[in-house]
């Protein structure tokens, strides 16, 4: 079943009189449990595609359906709630709230959703950290964690609300090759175990073999056939 | 300069807020200093700006000229003390007078013409040379106390005319229009007010003492205190500082001004420290591409000076405006206190900015390559 | 809506808020100090008039609203008595003098006030014999005790203190309330040049209804100038000017508070833009983030106010008693409220920045 369904999405930026087409008739569908690597040079439009898929940006044309919810016409308020409930994000490096412990960084998601940070939420956070190999690090501050550990905490946060779709923005760019591979392995394991769809933006071809499918983007156009057979 | 100026232009809100805060704070300092000076002058200007080196009070008077009286034998004893060149009577009292057609309260001082106790801040006209003439406080010039005006003392014993022949600056006493006249005229005024018979003796309030050439006023004060019973001799400055009200006004304003002086450099220091932290990555980059640490420090200090200078200008504008509102306090816009205050707060602000300077000096250009300086 | 995040930041990173708190604490102290001085000057100058249990006060028209200059004769008084709406009329007189206190080296500053209609808190005048008075509590600081016989003025007129009253000072001097006969005795012995006849008082306090002031001044044919009690308070020397000057300083200081809070939190917000981007991306709304900024400003203000109050009270205790500083609970309430308003308004400067944080910026940025 399809989790992310983007059809004919266009995104045009205007700067003065000039129009810049960041995304040109992009169509992409990702199924449950499927991991898609989005590969492209900088300025290719991959950031735009990720932002639109995650409800951070509204497309100029086309439709976006996530987890069965058509978010094409959503206003900012509904997009905020949508992101909170249906999408997980892992960013490059600014990821964690610096004055919160690892466990509290996971609970932020619960708090933002109006949760009370109750026992169930805390237990879920602990279980997730345990799964991610961070059982002993729950009460550490981000500054006390290594780069790999920080990304793992971020993955935990992204998974906290059981989203149907997790979006990764260069999750390994700040890590060395060995750590990067560990993190990618972890991502793959967690996505498969939960049957969660993932789109991973990267420019590191060494990481692409962790994906089920590779989609290339150049000048706003998806070049590989994005629809699986 | 280039760096400093461009950053300020780009961050108008931030620097604008800081300049505004500094301007208001400096204004409040200036305003309150002026108010304090004005109040004290209004209360006690006449004592400060008369010529006696030492004033001898009755020791029951608690340094209050209103409640003091000197007996003839005390006066004689003071005159005999070594180092006293002249000791002449000085009278002070409040009268209801008619000036410019309306009744008002006025303070009259009576001194022996040519002797100690004469006004020292004559700004127009001349000192009295005959009975019935007076020098008036300049502040009340327009209210019937100008040169050539006649001020009439009213009382059950009739009236007494005083002719203003000169005006002097900062000559008020007890926040009232004030006149200095001959002691005999003062005595006559008192008889009119109290309905006393012609020729009834009037005692001086205090003695105005001129010390002998080369004698030290404080030493003379000590000798008078030791030699004469029932009196409290004070130097002119002691008499001003000890006046009822003056010291408590000074203490209150002292605390307030002290706090204001503390807040200005704290606000500035804090601001520049935070700003420096925020642009640490930019500074690291600048160091990496070859900016000397000195250049960056100079840019920072230039900003401090610019902010303080602009703030002081704002303060001066507000100050000049506000003083229009309290003109009746006799406060004048003077440039010197503004300059001094601005320099003092500038110096304090530069001191607290040293914390930010230290941060700039600690920046390692190498961090630009590892990115360590980029994250805060 | 949960606001744990901003509170946690305050708790976990107190040092980053420290200097702002210190600055605001000093500003709180300043505001309390200025206010306390204003209150002290105001209350100490006006107590005897504010205490009047009356509707209007009648001066002679030549007095320029000063008790010292005012004289009301028996004739004028009977004209006032006859005015429609006048229920009760009482004489009033003040004289400011020094007084020898038994056992004290320094004389005390007192105001001898003669009355007929009892002001609030002052016993009925019929309970006082000639030569007796009830004293304002502030004279206790100058060594006065109940049962003491004070020697008033150069003439050493005897007045015996038989009880205390509160908050009735007059022009910074402790008032001793006596009957009119005793007041005249003190006045005439010590101020022979301003002696008053047996049926003369300085002013009249009047209880009644209707437009008393106009009715009385008309009935006396312009011989009187009648003020409401509130107007009489403001007519005291220096009171109105003091109020406006101090309030001007106080409100300017509040503007400084606003600027300081605005400055500090806009800097803090600027520092957090990246974090705000991430939080918005994972589902935090602008409103929630901004509420966090406001909440922090409020907490910092509360902490600063508590510290500033403690400092102000310590400073007040350390000052010599001659300083007319009086810290009233109402002043604390006013200062606290004003600080809160200023800090909320000041933090609102950051609103635009928070609103403009683009959650999409969280993607594709490496720092």
Q: Which CATH number fits domain A2-98+164-222: 3.40.50.300, 3.30.300.30, 3.30.420.10, 3.20.20.70?
A: 3.40.50.300
pLDDT, residue C13, reads 84
Residues B317 and B271 in one domain: yes
Residue A226 has pLDDT above 50, yes or no: no
- At A18-72, the pLDDT tens digits run 888 888 889 999 999 999 999 888 778 888 898 899 888 889 999 999 988 999 8
* Cβ <8 Å between A104 and C362: no
A116 touches chain C (CB under 8 A): yes
- B256: which chain C residues are within 8 Å (Cβ-Cβ)? 30, 33-34, 37
Residue C300 has pLDDT above 60, yes or no: yes
- A97: which chain C residues are within 8 Å (Cβ-Cβ)? 5, 275, 278-279
Chains near C with 3+ CB pairs less than 8 A apart are: A, B
- At C38-92, the pLDDT tens digits run 898 899 889 999 999 999 999 998 887 888 889 999 999 999 999 999 999 999 9
Chain C: residue nearest A202 by CA? C364
pLDDT, residue C165, reads 96
| Largest CA-CA distance found in chain A, in angstroms, rounded | 55
Of A117-126, B56-65, B220-229, the poorest mean pLDDT is in B56-65
Q: How far is B285 from chain C (nearest CA, A)?
A: 14
Residue C127 DSSP class: G
A92 touches chain C (CB under 8 A): yes
Beta-carbon count within 10 A of B318 CB: 18
| ipTM rounded to 2 decimals | 0.75
- At A74-133, the pLDDT tens digits run 888 888 888 888 899 888 766 788 888 999 888 888 877 777 668 888 999 999 999 888
Chain B: residue nearest C37 by CA? B252
pLDDT, residue A228, reads 46
* Cβ <8 Å between C107 and B28: no
Exposure string for B120-150, b = 16+ CB within 10 A, e = fewer: ebbeebebbeebbbbbbbbbbbebbbbeebe
Exposed / middle / buried, residue B290 (Cβ in 10 Å: 0-12, 13-18, 19+): exposed
Chain B: residue nearest C193 by CA? B194
- At B80-117, the pLDDT tens digits run 999 999 999 999 998 889 998 887 889 999 999 999 99
Chains near A with 3+ CB pairs less than 8 A apart are: C
Q: Is B238 contained in some domain?
A: no
Compute the CA torsion angle C11, C17, C20, C21 (nearest 10 deg): 20
- B103: which chain C residues are within 8 Å (Cβ-Cβ)? 62, 64
* Cβ <8 Å between C98 and B195: no
Residues B138 and B211 in one domain: yes
Chain C: residue nearest A97 by CA? C275
Name the more confident of C337 and C242: C337
* Percentage of chain C exceeding pLDDT 70: 98
Q: How far is A16 from chain C (nearest CA, A)?
A: 20
Q: Is B177 contained in some domain?
A: yes
pLDDT, residue B372, reads 41
Nearest to C266 among B13, B103, B328 (CB): B13
Q: Tell which residue, B104, B113, B98, has the closest CA to residue B154.
A: B98
- C105: which chain B residues are within 8 Å (Cβ-Cβ)? none
Interface test with C, best of A49, A84, A94 (most C CBs within 10 A): A94
* Percentage of chain C exceeding pLDDT 90: 53
Q: Tell which residue, C283, C257, C277, C280, has the closest CA to residue C347.
A: C257
Chain C: residue nearest B24 by CA? C256
* Cβ <8 Å between C367 and B371: yes
Nearest to C363 among A51, A77, A85 (CB): A51
Residue C367 has pLDDT above 60, yes or no: no
- At B305-354, the pLDDT tens digits run 999 999 999 999 988 888 776 666 666 677 888 899 999 999 999 998 99
- What's the CA gap between C312 and A203, in Å, rounded? 62
Mean pLDDT of all residues in chain A?
A: 86
Domain ranges of chain C: 4-45+239-362, 48-235
* Cβ <8 Å between B35 and C238: no
pLDDT, residue B331, reads 65
pLDDT, residue A224, reads 67
Q: How far is B114 from chain C (nearest CA, A)?
A: 30
Residues B82 and B177 in one domain: yes
Of A147-156, B68-77, B342-351, C9-18, the poorest mean pLDDT is in C9-18
- C9: which chain A residues are within 8 Å (Cβ-Cβ)? 99
Domain ranges of chain A: 2-98+164-222
Residue with tokens 């010590």: C190
Give the 3-state secondary structure of residue C91: strand
- C367: which chain B residues are within 8 Å (Cβ-Cβ)? 281, 371, 374-375
Chain A: residue nearest C289 by CA? A112
- C267: which chain B residues are within 8 Å (Cβ-Cβ)? 14, 271, 274-275, 278
Interface test with C, best of A11, A41, A92, A122 (most C CBs within 10 A): A92
* Cβ <8 Å between B247 and C322: yes
Residues B138 and B225 in one domain: yes
Q: Is B136 contained in some domain?
A: yes
Nearest to C5 among A89, A111, A174 (CB): A111
For residue C56, give every residue at least 6 positions away whose Cβ sits within 8 Å of its Cβ, in sequence order, or none. Answer: C205, C206, C208, C212, C213, C216, C226, C227, C228, C229
Residues B32 and B114 in one domain: no
Residues B125 and B268 in one domain: no
pTM, whole model, 2 decimals?
0.79
- At A70-82, the pLDDT tens digits run 998 888 888 888 8
Q: How far is C23 from chain B (nearest CA, A)?
A: 6
* Cβ <8 Å between C193 and B195: yes
- C5: which chain A residues are within 8 Å (Cβ-Cβ)? 97, 100, 108, 111
| DSSP structure string for B281-345 | HHHHHHHHTT--HHHHHHHHHHHHHHHHHHHHHHHHHHHHHHHHHTGGGT----HHHHHHHHHHH
Give the pLDDT mean for A170-182.
85
Q: Is B54 contained in some domain?
A: no
* Cβ <8 Å between A114 and C367: no
Q: Could you tell me the residue range of the domain that residue B83 belongs to?
A: 60-229
Residue A223 has pLDDT above 50, yes or no: yes
Give the pLDDT mean for A159-174.
88
Chain C: residue nearest A56 by CA? C360
Q: How far is C367 from chain B (nearest CA, A)?
A: 7
* Cβ <8 Å between C360 and A51: yes
* Percentage of chain B exceeding pLDDT 90: 45
pLDDT, residue A117, reads 67
pLDDT-derived band of residue C151, with 50, 70 and 90 as boundaries?
A: very high
* Cβ <8 Å between B252 and C325: yes
Domain end among B196, B229, B262: B229
Domain count, chain B: 2
- Pairing between β-strand A213-218 and β-strand A61-66 as defined by DSSP bridges: unpaired
A40 touches chain C (CB under 8 A): no
* Cβ <8 Å between C23 and B270: yes
Residues B313 and B267 in one domain: yes
Q: Is B55 contained in some domain?
A: no
**What's the alpha-carbon Rg for chain C, to the nearest Å?**
29
Residues B33 and B85 in one domain: no
Q: Tell which residue, B362, C350, B275, C279, has the closest CA to residue A99.
A: C279
pLDDT, residue B375, reads 37
Q: Judge contact between A107 and A185, C-beta under 8 A.
A: no
- A86: which chain C residues are within 8 Å (Cβ-Cβ)? none
- B248: which chain C residues are within 8 Å (Cβ-Cβ)? 320, 322-324
* Cβ <8 Å between B256 and C106: no
- What's the CA gap between C356 and C273, in Å, rounded? 9
Separation in Å, CA B171 to CA B96, B108, B109:
18, 11, 11
Residues B69 and B192 in one domain: yes
In C143-285, which ranges are continuous DSSP H helix? Answer: 180-190, 212-219, 229-235, 239-271, 273-281
* 3-state DSSP of chain A: CEEEEEEEEEEEEEECCEEEEEEEEEEEEEECCCEEEEECCCCCCHHHHHHHHCCCCCCCEEEEEECCEECCCCCHHHHHHHHHHHEEEECCCCCCCCCCCHHHHHHHHHHHCCCCCCHHHHHHHHHHHHHCCCHHHCCCCHHHCCHHHHHHHHHHHHHCCCCCEEEEECCCCCCCHHHHHHHHHHHHHHHHHHCCEEEEEECCHHHHHHCCEEEEEECCEECCCCCCC
Nearest to C324 among B60, B248, B269 (CB): B248
* Cβ <8 Å between C5 and A100: yes
A83 touches chain C (CB under 8 A): yes
Q: Is B343 contained in some domain?
A: yes
- At C240-258, the pLDDT tens digits run 877 888 888 888 888 888 8
């Amino acid at each position: 079943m399809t989790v992310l369904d983007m059809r004919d999405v266009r995104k045009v930026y205007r700067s003065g009189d000039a129009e810049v087409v960041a995304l040109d008739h992009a169509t992409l569908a990702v199924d449950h449990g499927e991991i898609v690597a989005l590969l492209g040079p900088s300025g290719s439009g991959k950031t735009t595609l990720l932002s639109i898929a995650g409800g951070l940006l509204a497309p100029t044309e086309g439709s976006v359906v996530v987890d069965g919810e058509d978010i094409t016409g959503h206003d900012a308020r509904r997009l905020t709630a949508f992101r909170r409930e249906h999408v997980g994000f892992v960013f490059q490096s600014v990821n964690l709230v610096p004055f919160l412990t690892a466990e509290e960084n996971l609970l932020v998601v619960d708090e933002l959703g109006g949760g009370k940070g109750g026992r169930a939420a805390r237990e879920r956070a602990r279980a997730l950290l345990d799964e991610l190999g961070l059982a002993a690090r729950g009460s550490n501050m981000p500054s006390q964690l290594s780069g790999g550990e920080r990304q793992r905490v971020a993955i935990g946060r992204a998974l906290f609300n059981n989203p149907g779709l997790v979006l990764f923005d260069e999750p390994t760019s700040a890590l060395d090759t060995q750590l990067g591979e560990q993190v990618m392995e972890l991502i793959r394991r967690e996505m498969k175990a939960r049957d969660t769809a993932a789109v991973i933006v990267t420019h590191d071809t060494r990481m692409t073999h962790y994906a089920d499918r590779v989609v290339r983007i150049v000048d706003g156009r998806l070049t590989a056939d994005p629809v699986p057979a | 300069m280039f760096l400093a100026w461009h950053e300020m232009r780009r961050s108008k809100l931030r620097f604008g807020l800081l300049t505004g805060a500094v301007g208001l704070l400096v204004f409040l300092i200036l305003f309150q200093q002026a108010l304090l000076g004005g109040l004290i002058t209004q209360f006690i200007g006449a004592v400060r700006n008369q010529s006696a080196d030492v004033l001898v009070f009755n020791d029951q008077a608690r340094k209050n000229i209103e409640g003091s009286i000197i007996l003839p034998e005390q006066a004689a004893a003071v005159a005999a003390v070594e180092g006293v060149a002249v000791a002449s009577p000085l009278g002070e009292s409040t009268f209801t007078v008619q000036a410019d057609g309306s009744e008002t309260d006025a303070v009259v001082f009576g001194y022996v013409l040519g002797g100690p106790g004469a006004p020292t801040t004559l700004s127009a006209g001349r000192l009295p040379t005959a009975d019935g003439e007076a020098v008036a406080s300049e502040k009340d010039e327009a209210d019937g106390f100008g040169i050539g005006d006649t001020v009439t003392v009213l009382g059950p014993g009739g009236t007494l005319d005083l002719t203003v022949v000169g005006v002097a600056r900062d000559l008020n006493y007890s926040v009232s229009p004030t006149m200095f006249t001959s002691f005999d005229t003062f005595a006559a005024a008192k008889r009119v007010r109290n309905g006393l018979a012609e020729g009834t003796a009037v005692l001086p309030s205090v003695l105005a003492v001129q010390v002998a050439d080369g004698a030290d006023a404080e030493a003379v004060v000590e000798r008078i205190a030791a030699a004469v019973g029932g009196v409290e001799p004070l130097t002119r400055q002691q008499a001003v500082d000890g006046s009822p009200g003056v010291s408590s006004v000074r203490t209150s304003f002292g605390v307030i001004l002290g706090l204001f002086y503390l807040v200005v450099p704290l606000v500035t220091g804090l601001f520049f420290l935070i700003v420096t932290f925020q642009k640490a990555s930019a500074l690291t980059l600048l160091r990496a591409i070859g900016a000397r640490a000195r250049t960056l420090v100079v840019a920072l200090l230039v900003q401090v000076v610019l902010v303080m200078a602009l703030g002081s200008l704002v303060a001066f504008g507000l100050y000049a405006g506000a003083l229009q509102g309290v003109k009746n306090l006799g406060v004048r816009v003077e440039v010197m206190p503004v300059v001094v205050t601005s320099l003092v707060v500038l110096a304090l602000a530069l001191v607290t900015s040293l914390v930010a300077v230290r941060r700039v000096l600690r920046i390692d250009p190498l961090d630009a390559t590892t990115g360590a300086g980029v994250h805060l | 809506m949960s606001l744990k995040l901003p509170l946690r930041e305050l708790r976990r990173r107190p040092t980053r808020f420290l200097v702002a708190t210190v600055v605001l604490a000093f500003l709180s102290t300043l505001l309390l100090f200025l206010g306390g001085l204003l209150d002290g000057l105001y209350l100490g100058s006006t107590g005897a008039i504010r205490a009047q249990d009356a509707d209007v006060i009648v001066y002679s028209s030549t007095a320029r609203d000063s008790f010292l200059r005012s004289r009301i004769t028996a004739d004028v008084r009977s004209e006032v008595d006859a005015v429609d709406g006048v229920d009760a009329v009482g004489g009033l007189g003040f004289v400011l003098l020094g007084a020898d206190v038994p056992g004290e080296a320094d004389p005390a500053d007192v105001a001898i006030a003669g009355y007929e209609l009892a002001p609030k808190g002052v016993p009925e005048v019929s309970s006082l014999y000639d030569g007796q008075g009830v004293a304002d509590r502030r004279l206790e600081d100058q060594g006065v005790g109940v049962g003491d016989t004070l020697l008033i003025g150069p003439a050493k007129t005897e007045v015996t203190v038989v009880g205390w009253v509160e908050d009735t000072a007059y022009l910074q001097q402790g008032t001793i309330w006596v009957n009119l006969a005793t007041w005249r005795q003190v006045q005439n012995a010590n101020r022979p040049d301003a002696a008053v006849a047996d049926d003369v008082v300085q002013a009249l306090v009047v209880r009644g209804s209707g437009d008393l002031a106009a009715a009385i001044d008309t009935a006396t044919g312009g011989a009187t100038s009648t003020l409401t009690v509130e107007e009489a308070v403001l007519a005291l020397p220096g009171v109105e000017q003091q109020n406006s000057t101090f309030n001007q300083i106080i409100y300017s200081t509040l503007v400084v508070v606003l600027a300081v809070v605005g400055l500090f939190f806009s800097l803090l917000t600027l520092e957090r833009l990246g974090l705000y981007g991430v939080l918005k991306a994972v589902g935090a709304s602008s409103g929630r983030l901004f509420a966090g900024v406001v909440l922090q400003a409020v907490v910092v203000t509360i902490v600063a106010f508590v510290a500033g109050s403690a400092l102000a009270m310590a400073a007040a205790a350390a000052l010599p008693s001659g300083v007319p500083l009086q810290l009233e609970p109402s002043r604390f309430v006013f200062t606290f409220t004003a600080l809160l308003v200023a800090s909320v308004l000041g933090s609102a400067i950051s609103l635009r920045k928070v609103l403009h944080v683009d959650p999409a910026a969280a993607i594709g940025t490496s720092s």
